[in-house]
Structure formats: C-alpha cells, structure tokens
C-alpha cells in the first residue's frame, strides 16, 4: 500500500511546529521562493537556537544576543542545516513570517506569496556542498508542486529587502546553486 504524500510537508524534513505563521490571504498562490541565512548565536552553528527562536522559546539569558531578539516573532518554512539536514517549521499552505518589509517586482508583503528557506550560515561563511545539494533537491520538489517558482522567482532576502537585509550574503554561490538545480533536474 502506498503512503499518501501531504503537499504541505516534506517527508524527509524533521518537523518542528512554529506558532509564527497564519493563513495566506485569500487567492494568494506561492509564486516566490526566498533564500535566507541564519545562525544563532551569530556565527555559531549546530545548536538549538534557531528552533528556539522559531518556536518562541529563546531564553534571553542563554546568550547576550538573545536578549535583543527574544521577543521577536519570526519563522520560516524550512531550514537547511550545515550537514544538509532539513527542518520544517511551517506548512507550505500557511504564511511564514520570514520576509518582513519586502517587495518583489512591485508586489509588497512577500510573505503573502512566498516560501522562505533558511540556510544555517552567515554572510561571511561559505555554505557547504551538503547545503547546496539539499537546497537544490528541495527547490526542485517545490517547483514541481508550485509551477510559478521559476528560476527568476528564486531570490535572496537581500533582493526583496535591499538596504535592510544582506542574506544569504556574498558567500552564497548563485552560479553553483543553479548548476546543482540543473543537475538534479536532468
């Protein structure tokens, strides 16, 4: 007997439910994919800070930086860890709170029509081959489900929030990422 696939979730992702999401506006379709980067504490990898931030469980005393962001309510649909492991926080049918003040091709409020993918990283730290491979696999899966996610509709947070955001940063290799997409597509 075959197992039914839920289009809201990726079966190979660890599920961590974030309360920081809501319904997409009526008639909104997924038409944009936004790539972000995050590390908590900044520049450190592998801990549970990201899970805690996206589930509103960040302890302000755990790190000085956490005092600044403990009350922030944000999320993303997915996180790709440094080792290529995948975490999903928000179902694709819901609006994750990842883009903030943003605009894509004249359309504001990008959270309404986008999927947000965080890469565990930092602007000045190169991403891993495992992350690029996982990201390409995920993007190919999402493109099959959401046909509007063309190559032109895959952007960095810095592209939709210029001057406010810099991620995924200068170390994100867009050419290499697109080659990975093409290889998995073939």
Query: What digits encode the pLDDT tens for the residues 137-166?
Result: 999 999 999 999 999 999 999 999 999 999
Nearest to 179 by CA among 151, 149, 146, 145: 151
What is the arrangement of strands in the sheet containing 78-80, beginning at the earlier edge strand?
Answer: 14-15, 86-88, 78-80, 114-120, 32-38, 154-156
Domain boundaries, the chain: 14-20+28-185
What CATH number does the domain located at 14-20+28-185 have?
A: 3.40.80.10
Q: Is 118 a catalytic residue?
A: yes
Residues whose CB falls within 8 Å of the CB of residue 49, separated by 6 or more in sequence, listed in order: 39, 40, 41, 58, 62, 63, 66
Q: Note the pLDDT of residue 1.
A: 47
CB distance 10 to 138 below 8 Å? yes
For the full predicted model, state whether its pTM sits above 0.75: yes
Choose the catalytic residue: 23, 61, 118, 120.
118
């Amino acid at each position: 007997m075959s197992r039914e696939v839920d289009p809201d979730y990726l079966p190979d992702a660890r599920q961590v439910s974030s309360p920081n999401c809501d319904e997409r506006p009526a008639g909104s379709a997924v038409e944009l994919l936004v790539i972000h980067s995050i590390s908590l504490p900044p520049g450190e990898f592998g801990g549970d800070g990201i899970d805690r931030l996206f589930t509103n469980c960040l302890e302000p005393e755990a790190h000085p930086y956490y005092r600044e962001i403990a009350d922030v309510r944000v999320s993303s649909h997915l996180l790709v860890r440094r080792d290529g492991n995948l975490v999903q926080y928000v179902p694709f049918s819901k609006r994750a709170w990842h883009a903030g003040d943003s605009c894509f091709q004249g359309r504001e409020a990008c959270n309404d029509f986008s999927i947000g993918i965080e890469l565990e990283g930092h602007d000045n730290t190169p991403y891993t081959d495992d992350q690029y491979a996982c990201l390409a696999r995920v993007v190919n899966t999402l493109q099959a489900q959401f046909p509007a996610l063309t190559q032109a509709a895959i952007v960095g947070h810095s592209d939709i929030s210029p001057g406010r955001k810099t991620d995924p940063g200068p170390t994100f290799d867009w050419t290499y990422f697109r080659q990975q997409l093409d290889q998995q597509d073939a």
